[in-house]
Amino acid sequence: MTALPALDLAQAADAAEIMTGAQMVVRALVDQGVTDLFGYPGGAVLPIYDALFHEPRLHHVLVRHEQGATHAAEGYARSTGKPGVVLVTSGPGATNAVTGIVDALMDSIPLVVITGQVPTHLIGTDAFQECDTVGITRSCTKHSYLVKDVADLAHVLHEAFRIATRGRPGPVVVDIPKDVQFASGLYVPPDKARAGHDYRPRMDGDPARIAEAHALIAGARRPLLYTGGGVINAGPDASGALRRLAALTGAPVTSTLMGLGAFPADDPAWLGMVGMHGTFEANHAMHDCDVMIAVGTRFDDRVTGRLDAFSPGSKKIHIDIDPSSIGKIVRTDVAIVGDAGRVLAALGEAWKRGRGGPARADLKAWWEQIDIWRSRRCLAYAPSASVIKPQQAVERLYALTRDRDVYITTEVGQHQMWAAQFYHFQSPNRWMTSGGLGTMGYGLPAAIGVQTAHPGALVIDIAGDASVQMTIQEMSTAIQYDLPIKVFILNNQWMGMVRQWQQLLHGERYSHSYSASMPDFVKLAEAYGAVGLRAEDPADLDGLIEVMIDTPRPVIFDCRVERAENCFPMIPSGKAHNEMMLGDEPRDLGAAIDAGGRGLV
């Protein structure tokens, strides 16, 4: 127990209360506006769980594996704009959480991950369930803390929330030794907490750069808005500002995987997703535009393809809150550091103040060209009377759920790309997917997080049969908390994207990508206490999807799809945006990617 100097007590008596470190954790969460958290108890966090036992304002969701807790918190955060909170124990609790922490770092998701640690006097002795949590997570967190003194705890917890949510969001780990949880100290509320770090990300763009950007856009004949997850992270106002700027400038809009929903898919200016499995029109527009307005996006290799052929004729405006993203991959002509929403709004204001800009008519040739690309109908696929096509499954799922209050999560692979291509979003925060890290097993626990935040909504994990088995145990969590998530599995019995790459790149040698011994997903659902449905005939698909929607309980939907279907369009590795492979072209698949491309991922 930490002895408290009398002077401190007197000084802080008004503002603070004396409590244990464990009680401080719970109190800080409440004071930060947290209502839900995801976790798993263990020896080194038992004091915090004990404090949680007495706190009715916090709803704790017990997962079945700590990876599930981090992904659930990511889904919660992505669908609400609030930080996700995770509570796990030391050692394996912390190491199991690492995948989700890296995932949150790559996709800029605000998480506060509280980990128990062995008592301070045992740190460094290889104690039971000891690991160097801060060391292990140092490179995969935005920031991390080991709190060795209860006097620092409240300050650190409040700062953790501030750092996780401000600027470019990300995961923050707070590692708390068990003796610090037991020790008594003064609790400090958020408004009295001192900032240990001078962290003040730049929010407003430089007016001079905004004026330069405005002039470039005003002179453009082939402008393009290329937006990313940063627009979602900047909040609904940023999506509104994007929509207004697109309307003002008449520019078409494309986005990355992470940016889907910021711009409505039913708007005529929407080109679809850009990149490796993006649309023909979006990729050609990227290649041929003369002014690219990149907002909250980081020129990921899945977007740019071959860099020496990436949008060769364009001037590039890059708006990002993270200065290290600007100029990292692609040379930028106008760099604007700031919050996506604020900079987009400022650009819109500049546009309104400025005299004119190009008349819509000036963009006529550009839109005519875009219509030519659109007429290529790049997402067309050949339907079948006997077997369900995966594209068709997502298309029908969209048609039957689009008018509902729906949230979509995905796993990683072919099904993820088909979901991005065939499920359309009109608003932000409706689409949860693992973009940067590409974590198979993300979608099911993420759906649990989303459903926790939105109890009345229809939450669907569009899954693959291989991915879903990585975190299938979280079905048990869904049952325990009556979370009626729908796990919609596009079951082709393969690791589909691995199989596709082996077909294209490795001479059709399907090395260990076939899932033999597939579980019976209907029986598996029933074993967990969920509802299992199976669709095999295209004629039954709509009816069974309706049954799934109307089932007020968790559902595993085993959608048996065409097993050898490939995901197109595709920019083969090492190729340019205007060298796409389309689904309806006869081709020698093995010759599509050259030796250089094979070396890439």
Partner 1 sequence: MTEEHPASAYDMGHTVEAENLATFAVLVDNEPGVLHRVVGLFAARGYNIDSLTVAETDRNAHTSRITIVTRGTPHVLAQIEAQLEKLVSTRHVQNVTRDPNGAERELALIKVAGSGPERVEALRLAEIFRAKVIDTTIVSFIFELTGAPAKIDKFLELMRPLGLVEVSRTGVLSIERGESIL
Is residue 189 part of the contact set for partner 1 (CB under 8 A)? no
- SS3 at position 74: helix
User: Residues 89-128 vs partner 1: string with x where CB under 8 A?
Assistant: ----------------------------------------
Question: Residue 404 and residue 382: Cα distance in Å, rounded?
Answer: 28
Residue 138 Cβ vs partner 1, minimum distance, rounded to whole Å: 6
> How many residues at the interface with partner 1, by CB under 8 A?
34
315 forms beta bridges with 291
Q: Give CA–CA dist 98/92, Å, rounded.
A: 10
- Cβ closest to partner 1, residue 76 vs residue 226: 226
Query: Rounded to the nearest 5°, which phi and psi values hold at 261?
Result: 105, -20
Collect contacts of 203-207 with beta carbons under 8 A, ≥24 apart. Answer: 203/321, 203/338, 203/339, 203/342, 204/338, 204/339, 204/342, 204/343, 204/346, 205/319, 205/336, 205/337, 205/338, 205/342, 205/343, 205/346, 206/336, 206/337, 206/338, 207/346
Q: How far is the CB of 329 from partner 1 (least distance, A)?
A: 6
At its nearest, how many Å lie between partner 1 and the CB of residue 98? 15
Which of these ranges, 48-56, 133-141, 266-274, 447-455, lies near partner 1 under the rule CB under 8 A? 133-141
| Interface pick for partner 1 out of 96, 108, 239, 304 (rule CB under 8 A) | 304
Q: How many angstroms separate the CA atoms of 293 and 314, rounded?
A: 10
**Contacting residue, 49, 310, 418, 425, with partner 1 by CB under 8 A:** 310
Question: Rounded CA gap, 223 and 185, in Å?
Answer: 58
What is the DSSP pairing of strand 17-20 with strand 184-187?
antiparallel
Q: What φ, ψ does residue 511 adopt, rounded to 5°?
A: -80, 105
Largest CA distance in the chain: 82
| CA–CA dist 308, 576 (Å, integer) | 8
Tell me if 585 contacts partner 1 by CB under 8 A. Answer: no
Contacting residue, 56, 266, 331, 516, with partner 1 by CB under 8 A: 331
Kindly list the catalytic residues. Answer: 66, 128-129, 178, 497
Choose which of 46, 58, 123, 134 interacts with partner 1 (CB under 8 A): 134
* Complex with partner 1: residue 33 or 596, whichever CB lies closer: 596
- Give yes or no for residue 358 binding partner 1 (CB under 8 A): no
The reply to whether 43 sits near partner 1 by the rule CB under 8 A is no
596 binds partner 1 (CB under 8 A): yes
Backbone CA torsion sign across 83, 84, 89, 94: negative
Complex with partner 1: residue 144 or 476, whichever CB lies closer:
144
Among 57, 328, 352, 364, binds partner 1 (CB under 8 A): 328
Is residue 210 within 8 A of residue 346, CB to CB? The reply is: yes
Closer residue to partner 1 in complex, CB, 305/443: 305
Q: Choose which of 289, 572, 573, 580 interacts with partner 1 (CB under 8 A).
A: 573
The 3-state DSSP class for residue 241 equals helix
Q: Which stretch binds partner 1 (CB under 8 A): 328-336, 369-377, 389-397, 555-563?
A: 328-336
Report the run of H or E that residue 465 belongs to, with start and end: helix 465-468
The encoded tokens of residue 430 equal 């409706």
Among 22, 72, 106, 146, which residue interacts with partner 1 (rule: CB under 8 A)? Answer: 146
Q: Minimum distance from CB of 291 to partner 1 (Å)?
A: 18
Contact positions with partner 1 (CB under 8 A) in 196-225: 196-199
Q: Out of 191, 266, 308, 585, name the contact with partner 1 by CB under 8 A.
A: 308
Does 335 contact partner 1 by CB under 8 A? Answer: no
Residues in contact with partner 1 by the rule CB under 8 A: 134-135, 138-139, 142-144, 146, 163, 196-199, 301, 304-308, 310, 322-324, 326-329, 331, 573-574, 596, 599-601
